[in-house]
Amino acid sequence: MRKLSIGVSALAVAAAGITVTATTVSAHPAAAGKVVIKTRQVSPYGTILTTSSGRSLYLFSGDTKGHSHCTGGCASEWPAVIVPHGDKLTGVSGLGTIKRGSKRQAALHGKPLYRFSGDGARGQVNGQGVEGSWFVATPSGA
């Protein structure tokens, strides 16, 4: 069943005319003690942010600068990008962290970054536009 779901997602992406090419912001792969945010070209969205493994990152319009409003079931569907204490966050200008309970969540210009549980593979952007509140993160934060 999982393979069917991934196949359908790939078909949906192909039908939507979305193409994906990767660009690495950091010349070095993520190492212990470092969380690297990369960029990837995704048509028609342009340059978006990804994890070091190529998973798309998202911003939630319900968040405020420095604070996540995605909790409970929302946090299960939209996992926060956590930066372990002592690790350095690198990749694009404007990156930082916000406090999320006892953890540090990656943020872009103070807005929390998330992954989407519905993205089963690198380069997927199935979370784009969900509920009119979730959007792929771009280097400018738009």
CA dist., res. 134 & res. 120, Å (int): 17
Q: What tens digit of pLDDT does each residue of 78-120 get?
A: 999 999 999 999 999 999 999 999 999 999 999 999 999 999 9
| Continuous segment of H or E residues that includes residue 66 | none
CA dist., res. 72 & res. 21, Å (int): 34
101 three-state secondary structure: coil
Asked whether residue 68 carries a pLDDT value surpassing 60, the answer given is yes
CA torsion 90→141→73→133, rounded to 10°? -170
Beta bridge partners of 2: none
What is the model's pTM? 0.77
Quickly tell me which residue has 């945010």 as its tokens: 37
Q: What tens digit of pLDDT does each residue of 20-58 get?
A: 433 323 333 455 588 999 999 998 999 999 999 999 999
Tokens of 105: 């969540």
Nearest Cα residue to 124 out of 36, 34, 12: 12
CB 45 within 8 A of CB 128: yes
CA dist., res. 33 & res. 15, Å (int): 40
Estimate to the nearest angstrom the gap between the alpha carbon of 125 and the chain centroid: 9
